[in-house]
Amino acid sequence: MANPLIDDRDVEFQLYEVLDAPALTRLPYFADHGRDTFDLVLGATRRFAREVLFPTYRPLDEQPPRLVNGRIHVHPRLREVFPQLVALDLIAAPRAAEVGGQQLPLTVYTFASAYLMAANLGAYGYLGLTQGAAHLIEAFGDAALRDTYLGKMHRGEWLGTMALTEPQAGSSLADVQTTAEPAPDGSYRITGNKIFISGGDHDLTENVVHMTLARIRGAPAGVKGISLFCVPRLRPGTGAALVDNDVATTQMIHKVGWKGLPSLALAYGERGDCHGWLVGEPHKGLAYMFQMMNEARLMVGLNGVATASVAYHEALAYARTRTQGRPASAKDPTAPPVPLTRHADVRRMLLRQKAIVEGGLGVVARASFYADVAAHGEGAAKERAALVLDVLTPVAKSFPAERGFEANALALQIHGGYGYSSEYLPESWLRDQKLNTIHEGTTGIQALDLLGRRAVGKGGAGLQAVAAEIAATCARARAAGVDAAWIAEVERAVGVVGALTAELAARGLRDPEAMLLHATDYLDLFGTVVVAWSWLDQAAAAREGLARAGDAGPDAGFYRAKLAAAQYWIRTELPRIDHLAQLCRSGEDSYGALDPDWL
């Protein structure tokens, strides 16, 4: 049986049984939609992902793009399928009709994209980056920029990049040094170097548009002097002609995964002729970027979920068909060997993967739902959704990255010696996954962002909003007849988070570094609780489903597996939080006080 990439039944469950995605269509922005249009988008995307995109995965992994005479050439198979990928019309799908979009809920877009990511993360990357770049132009660019770029980018005729990182600065965007010199024509001359620019050049489309962070000459130091520029590879010249804009590819980095998508070092203005157009106001570039960052981080979280999902399904199919050994209780050596799934430890590894994959998907899906309400809802609901989204984002980004990597390692482990070979695919997904703990803010940065800003900001309003949402889930679970002990455990966990956060916030008033010393443990704790919330949600929906469908219906197994995964997460993982809270609270200072010269 072919790998399903993402489980269709689970998508249906999460969209229509856990969440109430059609409720979004009561908001005016989404009014033209309904379950029928959602299912059309999902159907077309998953078909393309399985039948066309997934078969390109191995060839693209084996043969990365080539840098020849300063230009990047992608794999010929990608050139063939890319027009079909664009034809799904997903780049602008969530955007407004007035800019060529379909006003599709991000929630639905999220599930559709998950199939594409699971099929071929690198190939999907071009779409995601272009969407982000176009969104920046739409939100902050002037009419001239929108006219020039938006349509072409939304139609996938020109693709976009996010050009933030520089070799000397890495994660520290405050140290961006690329400069922008005002020119008489109202544009700027850009000079500088960027690195790790995904999709920074290719031969899929005629042009590439780099959303570039740079400093206008004389700007203040640090984050307050950074502006956003639109810098195309080819700039509009006279008439329809395009002129080379002096952005050169100086190096292709040999990434260990995502091999369909080149990661490049770019040099701007080596000939002094690189034109950039200011997007929005001067010195606000980083603020603009951060306004888009929540969505970008959700998409990285979804990368993590999708990459763990495809590997989980591969491992499940392997464990079902591969026979090996006998259970501990079987003593007859002539009895035939049993499928791997008969061994409890293999079921443990499978259930753990399921808990990570579907728990992670639940969190990203919920975050997308809040993003839809925060963007297009009204009044208190809109405000509350924005608060919840703000706090959930670091978890939705980092949990699937960190735990997804663990899940991917388990998928390889289940394949045994075969898993350790490139004849089988799990090792390639393990490579793909590792990037997600690094790009769009490392896990350490997510942790500082969560504990240092989001969890304690606005007087803790975000955390309170999350607690209120979890309380609603607990009420639903109680009504559905979910095991009371699970509900109590989740309620207790919310209390632990609240008390711990208050204590750390108080500590931070005196000593911010002491508050943040165990930020990574705090992120781990918080993520474990949020995923437990998702599993309680799913348990409630599963109980409701079982009540509807009956214990012997065709869906009964599906619901029972959901309950098993919920039990696993709430009873096996969630209790870890007490240890983590103790670490955060104790101020255990072994590495805090460590002089690196001792090492």
Burial class (CB in 10 A: 0-12, 13-18, 19+), 450: buried
Instruction: Considering the complex, state which of residue 254 and residue 271 has its C-beta at the smaller distance from its own copies.
Output: 254
Shortest distance (Å) from residue 503 CB to its own copies: 18
Site for its own copies contains 417 (CB under 8 A): yes
Pairing assessment for the beta strands 234-236 and 242-244 based on DSSP bridges: antiparallel
Binding region for its own copies (CB under 8 A) out of 66-74, 283-291, 419-427, 471-479: 419-427
Instruction: Considering the complex, state which of residue 234 and residue 351 has its C-beta at the smaller distance from its own copies.
Output: 351
Shortest distance (Å) from residue 482 CB to its own copies: 14
H/E segment holding residue 317: helix 285-321
84 HSE (CA, 13 A, CB side): 16
DSSP, collapsed to helix, strand or coil, labels residue 318 as helix
Instruction: Considering the complex, state which of residue 44 and residue 252 has its C-beta at the smaller distance from its own copies.
Output: 252
Shortest distance (Å) from residue 597 CB to its own copies: 6
Confirm whether 440 is a catalytic residue.
Answer: yes
Sign of the Cα pseudo-torsion (446, 448, 449, 450, in order): positive
Q: Which member of 166, 358, 427, 440 is catalytic?
A: 440
Distance, in Å, from the CA atom of 31 to the CA atom of 39, rounded to the nearest integer, reads 16
Do 262 and 275 form a contact (C-beta atoms < 8 A)? no
Instruction: Considering the complex, state which of residue 319 and residue 395 has its C-beta at the smaller distance from its own copies.
Output: 319
DSSP collapsed to 3 states, 106-150: HHHHHHHHHHHHHHCHHHHHHHHHHHHHHHHHHHHCCHHHHHHHH
Instruction: Considering the complex, state which of residue 468 and residue 594 has its C-beta at the smaller distance from its own copies.
Output: 594
Q: Which of residues 161-200 bind its own copies (CB under 8 A)?
A: 165, 169-172, 174-175, 195-196
Residue from 110, 249, 393, 437 binding its own copies (CB under 8 A)? 437
What track of x and - describes contact with its own copies for positions 474 through 493 (by CB under 8 A)? --------------------
Binding region for its own copies (CB under 8 A) out of 21-29, 180-188, 286-294, 562-570: 562-570
Instruction: Considering the complex, state which of residue 274 and residue 346 has its C-beta at the smaller distance from its own copies.
Output: 346
Shortest distance (Å) from residue 167 CB to its own copies: 9
Site for its own copies contains 443 (CB under 8 A): yes
Distance, in Å, from the CA atom of 133 to the CA atom of 131, rounded to the nearest integer, reads 6
Burial class (CB in 10 A: 0-12, 13-18, 19+), 153: buried
Instruction: Considering the complex, state which of residue 140 and residue 569 has its C-beta at the smaller distance from its own copies.
Output: 569
Partner residues linked to 229 by β-bridges: 212, 278
Which of 113, 122, 41, 141 lies closest to 81 in space, CA to CA? 122
Q: How many other CB atoms are found less than 10 A from the CB of residue 590?
A: 6
Q: Which of residues 194-223 bind its own copies (CB under 8 A)?
A: 195-196, 220-223
Binding region for its own copies (CB under 8 A) out of 117-125, 134-142, 409-417, 468-476: 409-417
Which of 172, 200, 342, 322 lies closest to 261 in space, CA to CA? 200
Burial class (CB in 10 A: 0-12, 13-18, 19+), 317: middle
Residue 481: both structure tokens together: 């007849």
Shortest distance (Å) from residue 22 CB to its own copies: 27
Instruction: Considering the complex, state which of residue 242 and residue 564 has its C-beta at the smaller distance from its own copies.
Output: 564
Q: Which of residues 304-343 bind its own copies (CB under 8 A)?
A: 316, 319-320, 322, 324-329, 333-334, 337, 339, 341-343
Q: What are phi and psi of 162, to 5 degrees?
A: -115, 110
Q: Which of residues 260-289 bind its own copies (CB under 8 A)?
A: 263
Residue from 438, 461, 480, 549 binding its own copies (CB under 8 A)? 438
Q: Which of residues 30-89 bind its own copies (CB under 8 A)?
A: none
Site for its own copies contains 419 (CB under 8 A): yes
| Residue 221 per-residue DSSP state | S
Shortest distance (Å) from residue 355 CB to its own copies: 9
Instruction: Considering the complex, state which of residue 152 and residue 255 has its C-beta at the smaller distance from its own copies.
Output: 255
DSSP, collapsed to helix, strand or coil, labels residue 191 as strand
Residue from 129, 133, 216, 565 binding its own copies (CB under 8 A)? 565
Residue 243: both structure tokens together: 């002129």
Q: Which of residues 349-408 bind its own copies (CB under 8 A)?
A: 349-352, 354, 405
Binding region for its own copies (CB under 8 A) out of 70-78, 153-161, 367-375, 560-568: 560-568
DSSP string, 570-593: IIIITTHHHHHHHHHHHT--TTTS
Residue from 444, 457, 460, 498 binding its own copies (CB under 8 A)? 444
Site for its own copies contains 594 (CB under 8 A): yes
Site for its own copies contains 121 (CB under 8 A): no
Q: Where in the sequence numbering do the catalytic residues fall? A: 440
